[in-house]
Every structure is written in structure tokens, then in C-alpha cells.
Structure 1
């Protein structure tokens, strides 16, 4: 295996930071005004190198090139515009209001705009804060992505409630239809370095057909598939194919997080059912469980129903080792989408609050329509975020 010159240069460039890593946490990316309003730039750049066994072509490329801005006044509102220039995809575009500033009591936060839908714990975590380089297969397959709509979140010390209504297409002009979603999280233990999080999320999507620029009608479809937990390949070892005509897509997820000091466990079980006109319902399901140990003693931060990047307590950064098992089953009814299970080992080096390096090794095992494949993947990432 050979690391590309670009990625090697990024890695070597970080080494001088060790002498004064703490100073790199004070970046001038924000400006504050007299009334308490704060304007900030935000960004996330990640460069990946993937090495595949077998006939899959190796690759190195910029994985993410996300830039945007936030405007907020603490306790009153916050707004964000965020775009990924690498994939030409809109990310978050929203305005969120805090009820206490307007009605005198906290009855939750109300957000309108383009935002993530809540079924899939890992998917609602910021892309910059992923413990592994890519989502586990069931999250890839069943996460509904972002939608335009309205949501409400109420958080208390022992629980979090979320409800959302979404409609129309996404900002790329795809996925026409409507969706309703609910998420409930119970946190009987929620303190720094000591968390127990148990959650349930449900959604119902109603896809609809559409007409293209040539006035050709396309039936409402749904599709479940996943890459082998590597981002620089279009290969899907399991794939339901496009299922027509999709009337409803019902998603459900169970989620859990346990954090105790430098140790943590996270798991999800996800399922989605497509109701089809004139054909039997089709259901796919999958699960993953992961464990993390921060060798340098820090803990995974937790807030707002999710985790964030580890903040190093030492000049040489923080080091985390991880393991994950994931499985995905897309065989059901008349659909032979395949089955796959993966083992992943990972290591993360959080050099500062803005620089992160990741390495993952994935051993995949997939069977579809009588074809059995077992690729191995090694991937590394250099990431800068602010």
C-alpha cells in the first residue's frame, strides 16, 4: 500500500503543530456585536485515501468541502447556511427560534428550513464529528436525508422530544413527497463523562411521482442500498434496486449511547418498510454496535441528544481506538437485495479542536443473488474543521 503524496503532505504538515497545539484552538472565525449577536464562519474539509482488496479501484480525493455561516443571538435565535462544494449539495439552511424569548417560557425550539430528518442517530450527528469515517450500513440504507419543513425540539435533563413535518422536494430538486417524524430520547443519566441515552425514532414518508423536463412521468420509487463503509467508491454490495410504485416508507429506529469516562458504547437498530401498489410490502433491517476507548483519558462530549468530537486536554492531542460490527439485510418478499455484515477497526487522533486524523480497516462479507464477496478496505482521512 502507498499513501498518496497529497495525503502524506497533509499529515506531515500537522507535525509542527505539536509544539503549540493549544494555540490553534483560538481561530478568529467569529465576530460579536454589542447586542450579543454573533456571526461565525464554519467549515469542514476532509481528504480521504481508500485502498481496496480485489478488483475494486483504489482512490484518493477530497471527501468533503463544506463551508457556511451561522448567525445567532444566545437564548433568542440561530440561523445557518451550509453547503458542500465537493458534492454540490445543500446541507443545512434554517432559522431556529427559542420560545422563551418570545412567549416567556421554554416550550421548546422551533426550526423552519432545510434540515436533517431524525431517524438515524449517527446520521443526525455532524459529519465532522463521526467516530468512524463513514456511516454504518443500516444508517446509509435507511436514513431519509434532509427535507424542507418545520421541526420542534424540547429538551429537559431527563428527556428530549422532537417532532417534524416536511414537504416538497429537497434543495437538489429530488425526493418529492411529504414526511412526518417523531423522536423521543430518555436520558436518566446525563452528566459530563457519564451518560445513558435510550431513544426511539419513527417516520412515515409519502413519496410521489414527478415529471421531468421532457414531460415524462416517473412513478414514485424507493431504494435501500449501502456502500461497504467506504466513501470513495460507488460500489454497493447490497442493493434493493428501485422499487415501484412506492406508496409509503415507514422507518423506525432504536438507539442507545453509554458513556463512562474514556469508554463508550453506541448502538442502533433500524428498519424500513415500503408499501407498494399491487405488490407485497418490502422490509429491510440492520443494526450496528460500536465501542470506543479514549487512550488519553478524555470523554466523548454529549449534548442535544448526540455526540461531538473529543476535545484534547493535552498539547499532543487525544487518541481514540474503536471497533464496530454492522449488518444489513435487504432480502425480503420478492426482492433479493442481499445481506452484508462488516467488522471495522478504527483509530482517531484529535490533534487540536480543529485537526483530526482517522484510520479505518473494514472487513466486509456480502452475499447477493448467489454471489459471495469478502473485500477488505483500509482508509485514512485528514480533516480540518472550524
Structure 2
């Protein structure tokens, strides 16, 4: 669907709404004459008991609570000032200082009749046409949990399950390259609030949305992916959380080719290593995190055992360790096995006015090592300013090092950048 089609669709919806809003509207003059003597009938926009309200997005809830709609979106506007070694530029990964829309998404989601859910989200950034991100339906209380059918995130990794609206840095870590991305498939999941225990497992097909390490997508092949999480310490009222989890993904023949190591600095990427066709691969991940008042720590280790079609089997490992601290006393919220939206204790209302918003300092080290291909490491430091629950300004300093000497490319170089993001969700 291109932008013009989307706008035309909105126009049709608006016209239909206008027709229903006027009980005497229409093109039938006979019908108008027949009803002109009748008293005017006011059709309420919201029926008795129904609610339309704002809670970080626009929401509608029916009086019986069985039907809900949510409409919203996000804008991430990123800029970077990038410095790269001559070797990286000679390899063709030169990036100029630039500003761009990293994400510009709209969504509608909701629930019908209490147990049927839906989510449709489109991203308008980066291309001339809107692109699906999440598009799926859900059925609650299906056997042992919720059934989800469509295109969705595969259940792998704490960092991947946390929304880009809520991650601590502009970019996810280098270890993220080993995580499966969004795929079309079927997934069952459940969350037990009392025991703070969650799980998800699914079967997925081709991968229309992939990590920057994947060279080919949308080919034949299937994958089975699952994740289990537990919070042995779960006291969100007092901002005390200890989280552990594990993930596995077994990917069949023809799923993807491995495209070597890649790095991203505010979405501007480069990499090393040639694409290697794979017969199959097994991805494993373990994760841990803790929230102790304003301080949080998070770490993951991912591995991929990959069987190439030729003589090279590019097994890979990656990890990251990060921490953050809120100078203004807030805490990272946690639910359903991932982190969520930060709500400042006081919203920023302007210079000279009451309210500071929330201020967060963060640091991270990450690495990725691919046997016989390349290795990379990165160090990030950041400052995040949450003006309110729906607006955030981020500033990161990133140093990346990449070595392709094992892969035959001879690339051994560094890159660094100062990156910023202006973010609003609605």
C-alpha cells in the first residue's frame, strides 16, 4: 500500500463517518421528504457506557468492556555525526553526517468480543511505500494461552522483545545480529502474573523482516523459536525486579544466508564478511536483568551454530552488558518478560516551569565474534531525557571496532559517532 492509497482510504473512512453522523444525510430526496416532518434524531457519537479516552494513545472501549480500539504511532527522527577510518570508507561503508526518519509508524490494534485481538502496524520511513511491521490476529484462552497468527516478532531475546520506543540506546547491541527478527507464522504464549513466569513458542516461515546480518530473505524453509522467562524477584510496586530467561531457535534449510558481521550507528550501517549460504542453524540465548530502584542492569549472551552449504561453518557468539541510572529517581518498568514505557515523576512543561522530566544515564559494552569471518566490539554511552511518557530526546556516543582479517577481507578499522534521536509516540 503506498502513501496515496493510505490517504485515499482515510478519506473513504472520513466520508462514511460523516454520512453516519448526519441522520438526514443522503442522496434520496424522496426519503428526505418523507422524514422531514419527523422530529430530529440525535445519534450519539459514543453510546451509553462507551468511553473514548487518552492513555499514551487514543482508545475506545465499549460499555461492556468486550470491544476496544487503540490508534497511535511513533516518530523517531535520528541524526549522526560519524567518523570512520579510511579502511572502512575504502571498503564501501562510508556514511556522511545526516538526519533522517528512522521510524514513522501508525497502528491500530484492539480486541473484539472479549477474546479476539488484532494489530496492524505500518512503517512509512525509509521507502516510498508503507511496509508491514506487525500484522496479526490473536485468540485468547486458546488451549494453553494466547494464539497469535500473522507477522510478528519471533520470541527470542529480551532486547528484541523490548520495543524500540523503550530501549535504552538508539541501536540495539551487536549481539542482536544473532536474534531472529519478525516472521510470518503461528505462536502460542502465556504470562502468569502471580509467579512472574512467561513463555512463548512458535513455528515460522519466510522472513520478510530481517537483521542486517541476513543476506537473503523470503526463501523456503521453516523455523521453530521459543523463549521462557522468570522473575524470581518481582516487586514492581517497590521497583525491585530480577529477571532471567532463555531462548532457542532452530532454523531449517533454506531459511537464510548469513551475511557476516554488521554494525549500526543510528541506523547508518556497515559491515564485514561475505554472505555464506546455510543449510541450517541453531540459535541459543540466555538473558538476565535487574531493576533496583533507579538503577538497572541487563545482559545477554547469544550463539548461533550454523551449517554452511560449503566448507565454512560460521558459528557465532555475541554478548552485551549494559546499565542505566535515573538521576531523577524513576525506575524502568517491567512486565510480561520485557521492559516498558518510562513515566517521569514530573513532566517537563517548559524552561522556567515546574517539572524536569526524567533524566537517565546509560553505558553498554557489546561484542560479536563469527568464526572464520570477522569480529566486532562496541562501546556506547548515552543520556536520555524523557519529557513526558510520550516524548524522549536521546544522545549517544558510540565507538565501534571491526576486524575482518579472518574473513580474508583484511579490514581492521574503527568508527565512532555522536548520535541523537527526537522521539514522540502518540
Bigger share in strand: 1
Greater Cα shift, 345-354 or 152-161: 152-161
1:199 equivalenced with 2:245 (yes/no): yes
Residue matched to 1:61: 100
Judged with a 3 Å threshold, the aligned counterparts in structure 2 of structure 1 residues 175 and 83 are, in CA distance, closer, same or farther, namely farther
1:365 positional shift: 2.0
1:222 positional shift: 2.8
1:384 equivalenced with 2:424 (yes/no): yes
Residue matched to 1:13: none
Greater Cα shift, 312-321 or 222-231: 222-231
1:148 positional shift: 1.0
* Alignment check: 8 A CA contact 2:396 2:420 kept: yes
CA RMSD, 1 decimal: 2.3
Residue matched to 2:229: 185
1:367 equivalenced with 2:403 (yes/no): yes
1:26 positional shift: 5.6
TM-score by length of 1: 0.82
* Alignment check: 8 A CA contact 1:275 1:281 kept: yes
- Separation (CA, whole Å) in 2 of partners of 1:176 and 1:121: 27
- Separation (CA, whole Å) in 1 of partners of 2:150 and 2:269: 30
Alignment equivalent of 2:288, drawn from 243, 256, 264: 256
Give the number of aligned pairs.
Answer: 339
**SS of the residue 2:191 aligns to:** strand
**Runs of at least 5 residues in structure 1 that lack an aligned partner in the other structure:** 1-24, 210-219
**SS of the residue 2:392 aligns to:** strand
Residue matched to 1:326: 366
Residue matched to 1:128: 165
Q: Which has the larger radius of gyration?
A: 2
1:227 positional shift: 1.8
**SS of the residue 2:321 aligns to:** strand
* Alignment check: 8 A CA contact 1:90 1:171 kept: no
**SS of the residue 2:165 aligns to:** helix
* Alignment check: 8 A CA contact 1:137 1:229 kept: no
* Alignment check: 8 A CA contact 1:79 1:96 kept: yes
- Separation (CA, whole Å) in 1 of partners of 2:419 and 2:311: 41
* Alignment check: 8 A CA contact 2:187 2:201 kept: yes
Judged with a 3 Å threshold, the aligned counterparts in structure 2 of structure 1 residues 191 and 26 are, in CA distance, closer, same or farther, namely same
**Runs of at least 5 residues in structure 2 that lack an aligned partner in the other structure:** 1-53, 90-94, 211-216, 349-356
Alignment equivalent of 2:275, drawn from 242, 260, 264: 242
1:89 equivalenced with 2:131 (yes/no): yes
* Alignment check: 8 A CA contact 1:121 1:255 kept: yes
Residue matched to 2:330: 298
Judged with a 3 Å threshold, the aligned counterparts in structure 2 of structure 1 residues 194 and 224 are, in CA distance, closer, same or farther, namely farther
TM-score by length of 2: 0.75
* Alignment check: 8 A CA contact 2:360 2:384 kept: yes
* Alignment check: 8 A CA contact 2:79 2:266 kept: no
Q: Deviations over 1:302-341 (max 9, x none)?
A: 01100012111113311111000001112x2xx32x2111
